[in-house]
Amino acid sequence: MKMRTQTVLTAIVLTLLLAATASAQSKTFKLTVVAGHPPAFTWVKVVNEFFVPEVDKRLAAAGGKYKIKWNEAYGGTIAKPGGCLEAIQEGIADMGVVGTIFEASKMPLHNVTYMTPFGSGDISKVLDTVEQMKTLIPAVGKEWTKHNLVPLGGFALDTYGVLTNFPVKTVDDLAGHKIAAPGPSANWVKGTGAVAVAGNLTTYYNDIKTGVYEGALTFITAAAASKLHEAAPYICYANIGSQYAGALVINKDVWDSLPPEVQKIFAEVGIEYSKKIAEVQTARAEKSLQAMIEGGAKVVKLSFDERKRWADKLPNIPMEWANTMDKEGLPGTEVVKGFLNGLRERGTKLPRDWDK
């Protein structure tokens, strides 16, 4: 009996020693990841449902030497949509989703897609092109590094169209009508005869219902989510283009504190994050358009020739913007040409070659 007790005690001691050894050999990093939007938005959903669990899975497969204790703070709980860059830069959060569309003054070159309408509706092509530009044009990549950030994977919105309470079969039908076109998208109706009115997604529905304006430029998934087709049942699927909107990033100091093995996994999963974004957002856009049709919306898809007619009515928005950037000491012309060349290299036939 005494020998059996001693054997049991020995086993317990060995178990504790093994556990202590394993604990000593593994290291846990605590990371707070933020987003201004809730997981209902694709760029956050893919962080929550893919990036985080995939990193954990690969760390475990690598032997479990390193672990991450995640604090996922989405929906503006730590940083609002326009405050994530600053929060991560200053170390309030370790990593998260930064929307470049909210950072036009700090990251103007990343807004090139909004200044280049009628590019590509293919999210993958837009993301791949912007990623390539970070390498080919150092100033693009520096827009992240100067804020002490390391980009892991970008995200983009599905292509834009216009929803109205009157039929739009050609660009000519927009003439004389008030269209909500916030920020740079106001440029997309210059020369068409339409009147651009400031607005935002949260007010489109009611503003159209009350006659503030008669339609709105927006991307398809957003239109469906806000049931905009109930107020504006005519959808002109103009394919104005998918728009680069931001990236999943990590604070540079935090990045430098991670072991090379962990950095490698983060970088690899970051690339896959972008691919997953394109896949999920594209599927959502298709389902959204179908849902609005089933809800009574009437859709007109513009032909390439009609898209060209629309583009040709506009001033040369991209090169005007490029010249402004050039005067500010930024490579605006190089960025516009780089973006358009990137799309062309990926098989995109542009309705208008803005740089030629």
The predicted-structure confidence for 334-346, as pLDDT tens digits, reads as follows 999 999 999 999 9
Work out the average pLDDT over 66-80.
Answer: 97
pLDDT of residue 315: 97
Q: 161 falls in which pLDDT band (50, 70, 90)?
A: very high
65's tokens: 């030497």
pLDDT reading at 99 higher than 60: yes
pLDDT reading at 3 higher than 60: no
Query: What does the pLDDT look like over 180-232, one tens digit per residue?
Result: 998 899 999 999 999 999 988 889 999 999 999 999 999 999 999 999 999 99
Which among 236, 43, 234 has a CA at the least distance from the CA of 157?
Answer: 43
Q: Which domains, and CATH codes, for the chain? A: 21-103+123-156+244-286 (3.40.190.170), 160-241+295-345 (3.40.190.170)
pLDDT reading at 235 higher than 60: yes
pLDDT reading at 282 higher than 70: yes
pLDDT of residue 327: 98
pLDDT of residue 137: 98
Across all residues in the chain, what is the average pLDDT? 93
Range from 18-22, 101-105, 152-156, 297-301 carrying the lowest mean pLDDT: 18-22
pLDDT of residue 6: 54
pLDDT of residue 59: 98
Indicate the angle between helix axes 123-136 and 138-145, nearest 10 degrees.
Answer: 90
| E-state strands within 105-225 | 149-157, 160-164, 178-180, 195-197, 215-219
Question: What percent of the chain stands above pLDDT 70?
Answer: 93
* β-bridge pairing 298-301 and 234-237: parallel
Q: 120 falls in which pLDDT band (50, 70, 90)?
A: very high
pTM for this entry: 0.90
Query: What does the pLDDT look like over 285-317, one tens digit per residue?
Result: 999 999 999 999 999 999 999 999 999 999 999
pLDDT of residue 182: 87
CA 263 from centre of chain: 22
pLDDT of residue 25: 63
Alpha-carbon distance of 77 to 288, in angstroms, equals 28
Question: What percent of the chain stands above pLDDT 90?
Answer: 90
**Total residues belonging to the chain:** 356
Work out the average pLDDT over 267-289.
Answer: 98
pLDDT reading at 104 higher than 70: yes
Q: 23 falls in which pLDDT band (50, 70, 90)?
A: very low
pLDDT reading at 71 higher than 50: yes
Work out the average pLDDT over 95-120.
Answer: 96
152's tokens: 């892991």
Task: Say which DSSP state 70 is in.
Answer: E
Residue with tokens 């000491």: 329
**Contact in structure between 169 and 237 (CB atoms under 8 Å):** no
270's enclosing H/E stretch is: helix 260-294
pLDDT of residue 340: 98
Work out the average pLDDT over 151-158.
Answer: 98
Residue with tokens 């503006």: 76
